[in-house]
Structure formats: structure tokens, C-alpha cells
Amino acid sequence: MNTANSRPAAVAVPQALIAGSMALVLAALSACGFEPLLGRATASGHELPDGGTGCVVGNVFFAADMNEGTLDDNCDPIDRFLWAEDKPGASMFFAAGIHPDSPIQDNAIEQMLGAWQPNLIPMHDDGTCGDEVASDGIWTISFDLPVGLRIGYKYTWGLQGENWGGTEEWPGNRRLLEIVDVNGDGVVARFDEFGDQTTNKDKANQLLPANGGRGSIDWETDANGDGIPDARERMVDTDGDCVLDTWWTPSTAGG
């Protein structure tokens, strides 16, 4: 026998040992902020390597209303396609990052939010991943985020992988949100209208002075004087009279 070319006998490795080793590798990568590279970011609807969907219904919800006829805080109709293009196959995406003012700075969270990459993290209007009703024009995404975190975010309407141009609700500015459960329902829920420039938009805010607007907001701004900063969760207008009247607690929370 030619021992120089012979191969050693195969050693059987228990499957449990392999699985345990993989779990340790994944945990280490997650701790170092590389979780999104594995497609395992804890955001609803993030695709997994096998083509599945890893839905995490967390403690923070964002909803973007893309229906025609929505009103802003001046009670004026919102032009959804002032900056975004109405194109076939477009859908809603979430773009965000940790704000420089945030007392919490965490690279893993930054990557989970998409690190300000447009048309990367899809939202849902299919009744899954925290979305309440399929095909109602209200797109939803959910994250697990720590209390006290401050983020900037906006919505884009486009195709997967597109750039900002022709997809963002408006250029150059961002919405603000501080993760605080204002109404004590156990979740932080922000219900926005796509293209609205009068609520929590930080710069070039178009809320009229008569309605408390001053052209910009910060973390303490309370334009309508209800005692709740504009950069936190807030009530929604459910009857179209431009008066905030009801807290939105997603029916999918805790699911």
C-alpha cells in the first residue's frame, strides 16, 4: 500500500457539536455588529440566507400611510409624489440610523437600522411581520430597540437597491424619534404619513407658525402644546378632523 497517498480515516463529528459551534460563531459575529451580514438583523422582514423571512415583532413600531388623500398637521393634503416617483413595482422601505445626539451609540443597532442605506430594509403591507392588515396601504416595520435611544429615519418608495433620488419622501432632512413609551402600553408606536413635512421632520419643517411651527424641531419641541415632544410617539387622527385623538397600539404587538 502506498502510505504516502493514503487518506486518514474520516472521523464522525456529532451533529450537536457542529450546531453548538455554529451557534457560538453566530453569537460572536452578532456581538461584534456583523449580524446584518448574515441576514439576521432583528428587524421585521429581513431576508435570511435561505430565502426565508426572519420576522421579529419588537417593542418599536413604525407605520407609513401611503394612501391617497392623507392630511398633514396643517390639515392640507400631502403630495406623496412631490419627490418620490410613482413607478410600477415600488414598495416601502425604512432608512434610519442612530442620531449623533443619542446617549446610546451601538454599531449593531446602527447596522440593524440600515445605517442610512436607502431601499434596503423592506416594510410590510401583507399582514405579516407586525403589519396589521394586508393591502391597506399602511406599511409597517418593527424593531427591538432600547429605551432612550435617539434615531433619525425616513421612508423611501422604490425598488430594492435603488438610490435616494426619486424614492425618498423628501431630500436632505430626517424624522426624529426618541424611544420612550409615552402612553405606557408597552410599545413605542409611530404612525406617519408618507411625505408629511409638518410633524417630526427636523429641518425645513413646514408646520405653519399658526399651528406652533418654527421651521425645525429638536428633542424638546412641542409644537401643539400637548406636553409630548414632537420627536416621540404620539396619538393619531382617526376621524380626519386634523385633531389627534387616539393612541395607536398595534394589535400585533407582542405577537
* CA Rg value for the chain: 22
State the burial class of residue 235 (Cβ atoms within 10 Å of its Cβ: 0-12, 13-18, 19+). middle
What domains are defined for the chain?
A: 55-211 (2.60.40.10)
Pairing of the two strands 175-178 and 150-158: antiparallel
Q: Are 188 and 179 in contact (CB under 8 A)?
A: yes
pLDDT-derived band of residue 215, with 50, 70 and 90 as boundaries?
A: very high
- pLDDT tier at 55 (50, 70, 90 boundaries)? confident
CA distance 158 to 139: 13
| Model confidence pLDDT, tens digit, residues 127-166 | 999 999 999 999 999 999 999 999 999 999 999 999 999 9
- Cβ-Cβ contacts under 8 Å for 251 (sequence gap 6 or more): 132
pTM, to two decimals: 0.81
Cell of 223: 409644537
Q: What is the pLDDT of residues 10-36, one digit of tens each?
A: 334 444 444 444 444 344 434 433 333
Q: Of 29-33, 52-56, 173-177, 237-241, which gets the smallest average pLDDT?
A: 29-33
